[in-house]
Amino acid sequence: MAIKVHGHPLSPPTRRVLLTLAEKDLEYEFIYVDLATGQQKKDSFLSMNPFGQVPVFEDGDLKLFESRAITKYISYAYADKGTALLVQDPKKIAIIGVWLEVEAHKFDAAGNKLSYEILIKPVLGLTTDEASVEQMQAQLGTVLDIYEKRLAESKYLGGDNYSLVDLHHVPIINNLMKTKVKALFEQRPHVNAWSTDILARPAWQKVLDKL
């Protein structure tokens, strides 16, 4: 198989890449990286990603890291396969570009931290920082207020169609739905309908079933 993903089943960035491959109906080989023993900090892994983080992606001789760079590559290189995740029209892709940045800088800053504090820390035997949880919930609420207005105007964040913008949110929203943070989504009708919609897509179910 030409496509390989080196990652961890519980890593949201790894899942972001697997979901993109599932939407594109692409086959791949999954290579498990044992984060618990620090495999991602060994030379063999650092030669693929000097930052020592999962996932790493291979497509033939092309090696990539940074999940959002990988998903963009897949979306363009396999534009004709499966679900269209990016568009060619310069103005439409510019709007998608804005909301891709919003996910990466605004949503993820709060969402990823909440997922880590509430779900991951207890697994690692660490104590959740409740003050940080409060602060991040307030920050996420502000972002979701803006999403609520946006989603009242267009069905998806990037426009009328599901795109890479919505997809990038899925792994973290999936985690947050298992926590009290779920309420922040349910309190906002358009956000609630949107998050329910994007979590119910067959491609995401396929990823969860496989992991």
Query: Which of 2, 31, 62, 138 touches a copy of itself (CB under 8 A)?
Result: 62
Least gap, CB of 6 to a copy of itself (angstroms) = 15
141 versus 208: smaller Cβ distance to a copy of itself: 141
10 versus 93: smaller Cβ distance to a copy of itself: 93
66 versus 182: smaller Cβ distance to a copy of itself: 66
Decide if residue 106 touches a copy of itself (CB under 8 A). yes
Decide if residue 146 touches a copy of itself (CB under 8 A). yes
Decide if residue 150 touches a copy of itself (CB under 8 A). yes
| Helix (H), strand (E), coil (C) string for the chain | CCEEEEECCCCHHHHHHHHHHHHCCCCCEEEECCHHHCHHHCHHHHCCCCCCCCCEEEECCEEEECHHHHHHHHHHHCCCCCCCCCCCCHHHHHHHHHHHHHHHHHHHHHHHHHHHHHHHHHHCCCCCCHHHHHHHHHHHHHHHHHHHHHHHHCCECCECCCCHHHHHHHHHHHHHCCCCCHHHHHCCHHHHHHHHHHHCCHHHHHHHHHC
Q: What is the size of the binding site for a copy of itself (CB under 8 A)?
A: 28
Least gap, CB of 154 to a copy of itself (angstroms) = 14
Query: Which of 87, 104, 120, 177 touches a copy of itself (CB under 8 A)?
Result: 104
83 versus 139: smaller Cβ distance to a copy of itself: 139
CA angle 133, 135, 138 (to 5 degrees): 105
Residue numbers at the binding site for a copy of itself (CB under 8 A): 50-51, 62, 64-66, 68-69, 72-73, 76-77, 90-91, 93-95, 97-98, 100-102, 104-106, 146, 149-150
